[in-house]
């Protein structure tokens, strides 16, 4: 067992330098716990609306479930109203997360239109107010996840990152693209290096990790404390064990598919678990050239027993 943490967020020791990105619809308890077992250094929830926490708790509740083994567990929240963010954070504090993270990167129209997510990047004073309020009221670390700015003409990460640190933020994750870029185009790793160089709190780099080699390259090129992996981790928890998908055997993929499905069904129930698992399944199967009829059957069956026998059958005839 590793004794010394790789870095510390406030008072929370972090062992490891690769972390599963928060991803709405993907980084729920079943997938986070799997990723954590494969080596993701901490667990971050999908983003959670503060409005839901305060006014519509039953909607937020499923997103807040976690396993003790996932710790450190980070609840990521989003909103544009500093007072409501504080109110939600105080409610969430009661559930025992290790860290609360503020989303300042979501580029979805519905979110930015009301000034939340990346919309906050346009209002640096509000970010200062949010961090001041949260860090004064909470006895656990508060962190942030940002983008580089709204668009290429309004890059403001030097200001935003400084504000977050000055107002008590204990770590910063940087998705090295602008809001305008969405998820496309090159991530500017030089910006991550610049932020790391100018802050004292840990900096987590994010954006453009496609394979294992990129993890070490981002760590080396930016000196960031950890790397956050988003899309390349969907259907690929092995990336946290620093294994590329072409190094994973068919048997391992089959076993993880069945285990992941099982965890989804425990959380969401048998029927909904199977339906929700399909988007993950698509990604697990992507590297394999399976018969398209079998794949279609797998994607449409509502029977768990059929699903399991089709999967076993497919992989029994295949290995990489
Ligand atoms: C489907 C999807 C959902 C996402 N949801 C969130 C979210 O809830 N919170 C967040 O901070 N970022 C979210 N992101 C952004 C990712 O965390 C990450 O910053 C982005 O995908 C860039 O990393 P990558 O190039 O490794 O994918 C989401 C991304 C995707 C693809």
Q: What confidence tens digit (pLDDT) does each residue in 60-74 have?
A: 999 999 999 999 999
- Torsion sign over Cα 61, 65, 71, 76: negative
pLDDT of residue 317: 75
The whole-number average pLDDT for the span 15-38 is: 98
Q: 106 catalytic, yes or no?
A: yes
Q: Which of 224, 239, 230 is nearest to 182 (CA)?
A: 230
If you average pLDDT over every residue of the chain, what do you get?
A: 96
End-to-end CA distance of the chain: 32
Cα 115 to middle of ligand 1, angstroms: 18
pLDDT, tens only, 191-235: 999 999 999 999 999 999 999 999 999 999 999 999 999 999 999
Using the atom order of ligand 1, give the atom closest to the CA of residue 177.
Answer: 22
Kindly indicate the confidence band of residue 84, based on its pLDDT and cuts at 50, 70 and 90. very high
The whole-number average pLDDT for the span 2-28 is: 96
Residue 275's contacts (CB-CB under 8 Å, 6 or more residues apart) are 302
pLDDT of residue 2: 73
Kindly indicate the confidence band of residue 264, based on its pLDDT and cuts at 50, 70 and 90. very high
* 202 CB-side CA count, 13 A: 23
pLDDT of residue 320: 47
Cα 293 to middle of ligand 1, angstroms: 32
Q: Which of 208, 156, 210 is nearest to 179 (CA)?
A: 156
Which residue is catalytic, options 106, 120, 130, 239?
Answer: 106
pLDDT of residue 291: 86
Cα 247 to middle of ligand 1, angstroms: 25
Kindly indicate the confidence band of residue 319, based on its pLDDT and cuts at 50, 70 and 90. low
pLDDT of residue 201: 98
10 Å Cβ neighbour count for 139? 8
Using the atom order of ligand 1, give the atom closest to the CA of residue 229.
Answer: 26
User: How much of the chain exceeds pLDDT 70, in percent?
Assistant: 99
The answer, yes or no, to whether residue 255 has pLDDT greater than 90, is: yes
Residue 288's contacts (CB-CB under 8 Å, 6 or more residues apart) are 250, 253, 314, 318, 320
User: What ranges make up the beta strands (E) of the chain?
Assistant: 7-9, 12-14, 18-20, 43-44, 48-49, 73-78, 99-104, 142-147, 172-175, 203-206, 226-229
The answer, yes or no, to whether residue 284 has pLDDT greater than 90, is: yes
Using the atom order of ligand 1, give the atom closest to the CA of residue 101.
Answer: 11
Return the C-alpha torsion angle 174, 177, 181, 184, nearest 10.
Answer: -100
pLDDT, tens only, 96-135: 999 999 999 999 999 999 999 999 999 999 999 999 999 9
């Amino acid at each position: 067992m590793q004794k010394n943490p790789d870095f510390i967020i406030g008072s929370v020791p972090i062992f490891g330098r690769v972390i599963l990105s928060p991803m709405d619809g993907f980084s729920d308890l079943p997938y986070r716990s799997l990723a954590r077992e494969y080596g993701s250094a901490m667990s971050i929830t999908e983003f959670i609306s503060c409005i839901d926490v305060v006014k519509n708790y039953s909607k937020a509740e499923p997103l807040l479930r976690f396993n003790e083994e996932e710790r450190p567990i980070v609840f990521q929240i989003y909103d544009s109203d500093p007072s409501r963010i504080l109110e939600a954070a105080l409610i969430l504090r009661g559930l025992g997360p290790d860290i609360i993270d503020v989303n300042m990167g979501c580029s979805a129209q519905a979110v930015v239109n009301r000034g939340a997510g990346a919309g906050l990047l346009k209002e640096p004073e509000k970010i200062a107010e949010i961090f001041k309020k949260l860090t004064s009221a909470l006895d656990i670390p508060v962190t942030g996840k940002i983008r580089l700015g709204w668009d290429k003409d309004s890059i403001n990460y030097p200001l935003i990152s400084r504000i977050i640190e000055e107002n008590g933020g204990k770590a910063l994750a940087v998705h090295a693209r602008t809001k305008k870029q969405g998820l496309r185009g090159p991530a500017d790793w030089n910006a991550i290096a610049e932020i790391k160089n100018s802050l004292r709190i840990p900096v987590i780099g994010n954006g453009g990790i496609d394979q294992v080699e990129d993890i070490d390259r981002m760590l080396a090129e930016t000196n960031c404390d950890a790397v956050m992996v988003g899309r390349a981790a969907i259907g690929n928890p092995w990336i946290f064990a620093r294994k590329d998908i072409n190094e994973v055997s068919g048997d391992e993929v089959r076993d993880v598919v069945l285990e992941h499905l099982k965890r989804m069904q425990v959380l969401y129930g048998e029927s909904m678990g199977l339906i929700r698992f399909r988007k993950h399944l698509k990604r697990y199967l992507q590297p394999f050239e399976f018969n398209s009829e079998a794949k279609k059957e797998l994607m449409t069956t509502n029977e768990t027993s059929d699903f399991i026998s089709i999967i076993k059958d497919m992989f029994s005839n295949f290995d990489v």
